[in-house]
Amino acid sequence: MRVLGIDPGLATTGYAVLECERAPRVVEVGVIRTPADELLSERLHTLYSDMRRLIEEYRPDVLAIEELFFSQNRTTAMVVAQARGVVLLAAHGLTVTSYTPLQVKLRIAGYGHAKKPQMQKMIQRLLHLKELPKPDDAADALAVALCYMLEMRSPLRRALSKRASRE
């Protein structure tokens, strides 16, 4: 199984490709950046093109994406929502799963209010990385992809799937 994890943003979108046979393994991790001096439509087109390239190159089975959470800045929320929409459009045809930041933190660190350094240390440990994952957007994308893989491998999930297939 191959999962493409995405932390959406307009200036910087983090991405991570994980593969799992027995244990999750990092295939690729990085960020897509769009220049702030370009028109919004150009930036969104760059994001779309780069997402399509990633999907074509790595052929993921699933796209796991972080849901948006904004408590104050509505302007930023709207722009990030547009970027998230472009990512979802680029992922047309793939199975897509969304996670809130709380869900990702609970699954990775066991605590829904874990801070970035704690999350990065847990990702490093769980994926056996030599260094802390950086930048933050790429680390967040790793966390989202890993969240999906851990959810799919959970004993409860397997038990529910077996029960559903018998019914």
Active-site entry in 19, 42, 56, 66: 66
How many CB atoms are located within 10 Å of the residue 21 CB?
A: 7
Choose, from 37, 61, 131, 137, the residue flagged as catalytic: 137
Kindly state the tokens that stand for 75: 């302007």
Counted domains in the chain? 1
Q: Whole domain around residue 105: which residue ranges? A: 2-166
Residues 116-161: pLDDT tens digits?
Answer: 999 999 999 999 999 999 999 999 999 999 999 999 876 544 444 4
Query: Taking the CB of residue 128, how many other CB atoms lie within 10 A of it?
Result: 10
Residues 39 and 53: their CA atoms lie apart, in Å, by: 21
pLDDT in tens, 4-28: 999 999 999 999 999 988 889 999 9
Q: What CATH number is attached to the domain comprising 13? A: 3.30.420.10
- Distances, alpha carbon 18 to alpha carbons 3, 76, 109, 118, 145, in Å: 5, 29, 18, 20, 7
Tell me if residue 137 is catalytic: yes
Q: Measure the CA–CA gap between 165 and 128, rounded to whole angstroms.
A: 34
Identify the active-site residue in 7, 19, 50, 140.
Answer: 7
Active site residue 7: yes
